[in-house]
Amino acid sequence: MLMWYSVGTIMGYGAAFHVQTAAGRLLSVGLYMLSLVLVATYTANLASDLTISKSKDLISGIDDIKNGKLSFNRIGILAGSSLEDFYLHEISCGSRNFYPLKSQNEIYIKLLDKTIDVAISDAALLEYVTKKIYCNLTLVGIDFSRSSYGIVIPKQWLYAKDLDVVILSLRE
């Protein structure tokens, strides 16, 4: 009878057995709490799995573009840039089958109005823009070309030390 009562309580439909002792009531409360925790855990895991399975990105990096996982005319590239040269030599074998963009700002406009699905551009700039300005855009993949940046200033420039301090504070 005790086993039937325990299983009935955990399953949630109850058993036709009324508890009369303090130990039985304590056991009932414990079983009700256990069933609540088990059902809540199962529901949370199910919701999490369904959310993760629906949020898969269209692509995960430059290799997906190279493998043709995406239509080439849905890829936006700034015309006349070094990235256009990279695309022509490394991805499309010289074919200009991408969507040419005239300005950096046009990248975000075309992504938001769904003219293009993907834009290849400078990682540092895209990282800043997706975090600060266009938060509804996502940056995927890893950097496929690392480069250093330099800032040219005149010798003995009045604000050279201030610029150094600001740049170092950005790195932190």
Q: What is the pLDDT of residue 72?
A: 74
With 0-12 / 13-18 / 19 or more C-beta atoms within 10 angstroms meaning exposed / middle / buried, residue 9 is buried
Report the amino acid identity of residue 52: I
More confident position, 43 or 29: 43
Distance CA 75, CA 99 (A): 6
Q: Please report, for the chain, the start and end positions of each structural domain, with discontinuous segments joined by +.
A: 2-54, 57-172
Instruction: Just give the CATH number of 57-172.
Output: 3.40.190.10
Q: Are 98 and 72 in contact (CB under 8 A)?
A: yes
pTM of the predicted protein model: 0.49
pLDDT-based confidence at 42, cuts 50/70/90?
A: very high
Contacts of 74 (CB under 8 A, 6+ apart): 99, 116, 117, 118
Distance CA 35, CA 26 (A): 14
Task: Give 64-96 pLDDT, tens digit per residue.
Answer: 777 777 777 778 888 888 778 877 877 777 777
